[in-house]
Structure 1
Amino acid sequence: MPDEPRERAPGGPAPCRVVVCRDCCCGSPKVAGVDHAAQSARLRAQVPARISDCLDVCDQANVIVVQPSAAGRAAGARPVWLGLVNDAGATEDIVTWVRAGGPGVAPLPDVLDLHVFTPPRRAVRP
């Protein structure tokens, strides 16, 4: 069925996955005018997705990270960080891209290129 999320077949390669930040800023009233619950539900209904605690990039709220599939990783893809995902259209663009294969498999839609950012490196504590 086209509306069911792609799941990993037993013994099959890992699919493309989505991580949705939902903590102090992302998913909160601090980002007004967004139906955060609907956004999370839409992603979970359509693609393999999980909810994460704060990803420490609050200035980019709402943040969604698209992790490449096994095929994408084999092609050299890295996770793609998307920020300011604050409208239903951007959510749908993410769903479409992930269902097409995501990083390393399907080209990033031009409209999502506007949301891509590089997260700051975290300091490693001794």
Structure 2
Amino acid sequence: MPCRVVVCRDCCCGSAKVTGVDHAAQTARLRAEVPVRISACLDVCEQANVIVVQPSAAGRAAGGRPVWLGLVNDPDATEDITAWVRAGGPGIAPLPEILDLYTFTPPRLGAASRDRRGVDRR
């Protein structure tokens, strides 16, 4: 199984709030290269458009972890992501320097993802 891409498409990402981006074309381009899952809000609206590249099983076994990319609002950035995914993605291929500009550390699970006893519901 190749690596997978999660694309946030909710309140900010994928909406008219992020102007000048053909969101449908971006999603279609990614889908042409890799399995894509559309997600509801990932709670990092200040980073819209957010794309998370998840490693393949082989990539995870090699130490790869999900890579969060924010402000992916340029077709060239989408092409850089697809090229990296084709090369193997996290754990298999090194992150291209240009994509380093888009990476960010996601916030920890917030209170919204826990029940009233503090137990993770995910």
TM-score (norm 1): 0.87
Partner of 1:31: 18
- C-alpha separation in 2, matches of 1:74 and 1:35: 35
Could you list the runs of 5+ residues in structure 1 that have no partner in the other structure?
A: 1-13
What is the CA-CA distance between 1:29 and the residue it aligns to?
Answer: 0.6
Q: How does 1:12-23 map onto structure 2 within 5 Å?
A: 14-23=1-10
Letter in 2 for 1:111: I
Q: Aligned equivalents of 1:76 and 1:44: distance in 2?
A: 25
Is 1:103 aligned to 2:61, yes or no? Answer: no
1:58 and 2:45 matched: yes
Residues 48-97 of structure 1 show CA distances to partners (whole Å, capped at 9, x for unaligned) of 11111111110000000000001110011110000000000000000000
CA distance in 2, matches of 1:66, 1:122: 18
Measure the CA separation in 1 of the matches of 2:109 and 2:16: 26
Q: Determine if the alignment matches structure 1 residue 113 to structure 2 residue 100.
A: yes
Output the amino acid matched with 1:100.
A
| TM score, norm. by length of structure 2 | 0.89
Q: Indicate the RMSD between aligned Cα atoms, in angstroms.
A: 0.8
- AA matched with 1:54: C
Q: Which residue of 2 aligns with 1:77?
A: 64
Give unpaired runs (5+ residues) of structure 2: 118-122
- Runs ≥4 in structure 1, deviation > 4 angstroms? none
Q: Sequence identity, in percent?
A: 80
